[in-house]
């Protein structure tokens, strides 16, 4: 009797388990499509051991240029691969076909698949980005109906050739920083310590605004033995929210950015930078830093991800623009006053770049010819405080980039922008030897390429310092308006150089091209103006140089202000920064 009761009990228990398993299968296979996302999420948590997925889009806000052209978020076709025990069962012919489509051997595919521990997007060998499929490959792969294999659309956040990579920056995992910035989001389960956040550039400065609301993922269901569940297709999970992800509209002109990068890369592999600003409002049209880097494989120690347009470098003779402005503003010298340059200034061991000297030369001619001796003599008459005040009036002693207080914190559009410098804290700044070196942009003097380009904009706008801006607005996904970042000035009308000084400097920069150190530009399509510079520096323990050219064009109706910086480029022959400036202007003139 006891045996019969035990047997009946076991039969009843088995029947109950069978009913529950059937009900679970019914929910998974038949009823899933009729559930809301909330209900589905609840079901998925109850069978989490049977589901695996890959993220196809982070749901993070995207960047666009001034004309709505995407700078990030290119849609591509990729292969999503889910490890499961059904993949090879009776599918030898299909595996052969798949291998042919992907251009790998069957053994290579088998080794790869068997080594997988979690779902992933397939990439060839050690590539840092997914392998991109053609439309024909997508069609052929999906016709195979191999378990755990699906060709799908994927969001490649940083499409090659990584345009404006230093400006846009990159994302990555940073547990300590995410704990500091987003404690409530972590507590609420909206973010985890593995959530990717902005690590540099606009990705970092705008991280709070463009963080993901919901990603897009592809899920694949298997049974308890890791076998594909027949009849349950791969399911795409995505938000139907019409407002997210956000759209960040920048001031960048994609065509200009692409061609500036092309021109710079054609001339140098050294550390270099170019900034192109709108001459009227200082909006950033292009911002290039080299060497470039792979945002999917960033080495923090190498530092090639650092944006050199925002770093302060020794400026050399482009700083003579500041010295000239200070001398004119304070009536220290008349433009027609004559100086004698014999190539050296003995008491300081100071020399001119032209060894034989320039002979008798006026101050305005000395600017065009970049005469070191003349500028050292002018600086002897000037106090360090007067020079610093003028530098400040021209934006040199402060960050130039757009910033303001937003949401109880200071929001800046440029990540880690440095400020300019004339004298370090321990320098005897009124020593005549120090002032002589300072007059030609050496010793302690530092400027960023952004400041140098904006110096030109300031001169063109009669001393009004515009704040360079690279983000003009943020919109919702449906293009409705969220927030604007209006153009701003950095200084007041009372604290700027005079219109007369600005006008003289513009005339003198024209003479640099007409009959000075920039005369190689005289045959360009546009009439151009500017100032060249070469600074002696130490690079990796060796003697090197910084080459610069800053200027504008066309002279008759200025549209663009450009700063070019190239470090350690000396190979003899033409000044490389001047040549790059000329080629950029020539392309813009087309």
Catalytic residues, by residue number, are 317
Report which of 162, 143, 163, 159 is spatially closest to residue 151, judged by C-alpha positions: 143
Token pair of 417 as six digits: 């922008």
For the chain, what is the radius of gyration of the CA atoms? 32
Report which of 408, 6, 476 is spatially closest to residue 242, judged by C-alpha positions: 476
Report which of 50, 357, 404 is spatially closest to residue 205, judged by C-alpha positions: 404
CA 541/CA 248 separation, integer angstroms: 42
Peptide bond into 245 cis (omega under 30): yes
Token pair of 39 as six digits: 């209900």
Token pair of 117 as six digits: 């521990």
Q: What is the DSSP letter of 130?
A: P
Residues in the chain, how many? 590
Q: What is the DSSP letter of 141?
A: H
Peptide bond into 323 cis (omega under 30): no
- Which is it for strands 272-278 and 344-345: parallel, antiparallel or unpaired? unpaired
Evaluated on CA atoms 102, 104, 107, 110, the torsion sign reads: negative
Left (φ > 0), alpha (ψ -120 to 50) or beta: where does 572 sit? left
Helix 372-380 × helix 320-329 angle, to 10° = 40
Token pair of 118 as six digits: 């979690």
3-class SS shares of the chain: helix, strand, coil, % to 5 = 35, 20, 40
Left (φ > 0), alpha (ψ -120 to 50) or beta: where does 428 sit? beta
Strand-pair partners of 313: 447
Cα 464 to Cα 393, 402, 491, 559, distances in angstroms: 9, 15, 7, 16
CA 579/CA 564 separation, integer angstroms: 10
Contact at 8 Å (CB) between 449 and 565? Answer: yes
Helix (H, G, I), strand (E, B) or coil at 489: strand
Task: Tell me the CA end-to-end span of the chain in Å, nearest whole number.
Answer: 101
Helix 576-588 × helix 254-267 angle, to 10° = 150
Contact at 8 Å (CB) between 63 and 202? Answer: yes
- Which is it for strands 471-475 and 542-553: parallel, antiparallel or unpaired? unpaired
In 309-392, at which residue ranges do the beta strands (DSSP E only) sit?
A: 338-341, 344-345, 350-351, 359-362
Is residue 478 exposed (0-12), middle (13-18) or buried (19+ Cβ within 10 Å)?
A: exposed
């Amino acid at each position: 009797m006891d045996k019969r009761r035990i047997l009946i009990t076991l039969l009843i228990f088995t029947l109950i388990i069978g009913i529950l398993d059937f009900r679970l299968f019914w929910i998974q296979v038949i009823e899933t499509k009729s559930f809301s996302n909330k209900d589905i999420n609840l079901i998925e948590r109850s069978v989490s051991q049977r589901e695996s997925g890959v993220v196809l889009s982070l749901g993070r806000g995207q960047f666009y240029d001034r004309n709505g052209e995407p700078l990030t978020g290119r849609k591509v076709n990729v292969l999503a691969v889910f490890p499961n025990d059904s993949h090879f069962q009776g599918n030898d012919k299909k595996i052969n076909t798949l291998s042919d489509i992907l251009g790998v051997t069957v053994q290579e595919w088998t080794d790869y698949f068997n080594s997988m521990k979690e779902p992933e997007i397939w990439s060839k060998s050690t590539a840092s980005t997914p392998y991109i499929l053609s439309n024909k490959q997508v069609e052929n792969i999906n016709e195979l109906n191999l378990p755990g294999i699906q060709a799908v659309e994927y969001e490649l956040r940083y499409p090659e050739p990584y345009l404006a990579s230093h400006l846009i920056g990159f994302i990555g995992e940073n547990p300590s920083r995410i704990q500091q910035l987003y404690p409530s989001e972590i507590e609420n389960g909206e973010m985890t310590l593995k959530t990717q956040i902005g690590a540099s550039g606009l990705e970092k400065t705008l991280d709070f605004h463009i963080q993901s609301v919901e990603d897009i993922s592809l899920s694949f269901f298997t049974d308890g033995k890791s076998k594909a569940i027949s009849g349950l297709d791969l399911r795409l999970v995505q938000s139907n929210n019409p407002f997210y992800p956000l759209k960040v509209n920048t001031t960048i002109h994609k065509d200009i950015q692409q061609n500036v990068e092309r021109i710079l890369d054609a001339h140098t592999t050294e550390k270099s930078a170019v900034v192109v600003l709108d001459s009227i409002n200082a909006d950033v049209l292009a911002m290039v830093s080299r060497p470039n880097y792979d945002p999917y494989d960033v080495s923090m120690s190498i530092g090639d991800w650092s944006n050199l347009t925002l770093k302060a470098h020794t400026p050399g003779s482009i700083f003579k623009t500041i010295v000239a402005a200070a001398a004119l503003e304070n009536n220290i010298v008349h433009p027609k006053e004559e100086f004698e340059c014999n190539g050296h200034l003995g008491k300081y061991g100071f020399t001119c770049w032209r060894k034989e000297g320039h002979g008798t030369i006026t101050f305005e001619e000395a600017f065009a010819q970049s005469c070191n001796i003349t500028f050292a003599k002018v600086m002897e008459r000037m106090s360090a405080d007067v020079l610093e005040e003028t530098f400040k009036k021209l934006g040199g002693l402060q960050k130039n980039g757009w910033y303001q207080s937003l949401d109880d914190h200071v929001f800046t559009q440029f990540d880690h922008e440095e400020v300019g410098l004339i004298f370090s804290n321990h320098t005897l700044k009124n020593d005549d030897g120090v002032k002589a070196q300072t007059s030609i942009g050496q010793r302690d003097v530092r400027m960023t390429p952004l400041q140098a380009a904006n110096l030109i904009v300031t001169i063109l706008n009669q001393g009004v310092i515009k704040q360079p801006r690279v983000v003009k607005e943020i919109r919702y996904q449906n293009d409705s308006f969220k927030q604007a970042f209006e153009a701003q000035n950095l200084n007041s009308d009372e604290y700027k150089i005079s219109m007369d000084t600005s006008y003289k400097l513009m005339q003198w920069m024209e003479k640099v091209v007409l009959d000075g150190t920039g005369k190689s530009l005289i045959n360009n399509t546009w009439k151009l103006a500017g100032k060249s510079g070469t600074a002696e520096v130490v690079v990796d323990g060796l003697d090197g140089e910084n080459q610069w050219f800053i200027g504008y064009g066309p002279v008759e109706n200025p549209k663009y202000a450009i700063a070019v910086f190239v470090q350690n480029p000396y190979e003899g022959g033409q000044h490389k920064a001047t040549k790059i400036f000329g080629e950029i202007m020539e392309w813009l003139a087309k």
